[in-house]
A and B are shown apart, each in its own frame.
Chain A
């Protein structure tokens, strides 16, 4: 663990599980996990049927690895990871984290700290609360449109509908049901916040758009698939 951490942070981190969906990220996942584990010792990677060495890399970096026997999608991986982490009775906080290095561990720690000190069930990251993150113009437009759609359909007021960095309390992690296997799970989680009347807050986060993450990232075409998945459940 990072020796520079305060005792309070250390206690919080000890009760936290990082849930990382993993699909063919062997190039980066090892470093991502090693770096994250300097702060958060408990990491579960859900290997979603990777065909490269992702699972071994994750295990070598000290993560627990759960294997989907077949590829099910990121939403399904998140739900599996949460179910796994919930079986640890010492777990109180759950963070959904990306395997490609686009999320910052510092942001995750800030979010868990808020869960520990404020009356909240879930803290959701937002790229748009400050102007550190720089997505391209089209991506920005699509994300904004998604936010409007999301606010209208769920009644939950968020500024960023599809941010993968979230911190959940035990209450939130055990009550939210993710049934959307593919990318629509982000919207589904927001809908669940509204349905379950969870206490939520947003945290400004910085997403690191590297060439690597951009090459693996969602194309804007996916917005069509997401809306269609949400309508034809």
Chain B
């Protein structure tokens, strides 16, 4: 419970706040995609560095006030996982909407026209 833990708390809370913003303001287009790819690249590069210099994670962890490097990795994993969950659910909602529009268009195209409602089809499938 030393003062150093303030640092990791600030870092984690900031990241979660940013994720919250991502939920409220889903960004589309070239910039959003570029940011996603750069973030992924950053994660990959840090992973490679962490593999080459395993002690580095310990050093970073102690700077941030976290006990061990493995703890830091766990926190990082949680953050990345939540980020993934948030962005993919936003993506799914967008897909849902597109599928709805598409299915509705198919339904309306295949239906007999409503103007024929002036003379309703009494019995299409005579029993």
Interface residues of A, Cβ cutoff 8 Å to B: 17, 37, 41-44, 46, 56, 59-60, 62, 64-70, 72, 76, 79-80, 83-91, 179, 181, 232-233
Contact of B108 with A88 in the complex, beta carbons under 8 Å:
no
**Complex: A59 Cα to B97 Cα, angstroms:** 28
Which 7 pairs across A and B sit closest by C-beta, in order of nearness? Answer: A88-B114, A66-B111, A42-B117, A87-B114, A80-B104, A66-B107, A68-B107
* Sample of 9 further A-B pairs with CB below 8 A, known A41-B120, A88-B118: A59-B121, A60-B125, A62-B120, A62-B122, A66-B107, A67-B107, A67-B110, A68-B103, A69-B103
**Complex: A76 Cα to B97 Cα, angstroms:** 10
**Complex: A46 Cα to B112 Cα, angstroms:** 13
Contact of B100 with A87 in the complex, beta carbons under 8 Å:
no
Interface size on B, residues (CB 8 A): 28
Known: A69-B103, A69-B107, A84-B108. A64 touches B115 (CB 8 A): no
Residues on A with beta carbons closer than 8 Å to the beta carbon of B99 = 70, 72
**Chain A contact residues: over half helix, strand or loop, or mixed?**
mixed
**Complex: A12 Cα to B30 Cα, angstroms:** 52
The verdict on B34 contacting chain A, using a C-beta distance below 8 Å, is no
Contact of B121 with A64 in the complex, beta carbons under 8 Å:
yes
Known: A69-B103, A85-B114, A181-B96. A62 touches B121 (CB 8 A): yes
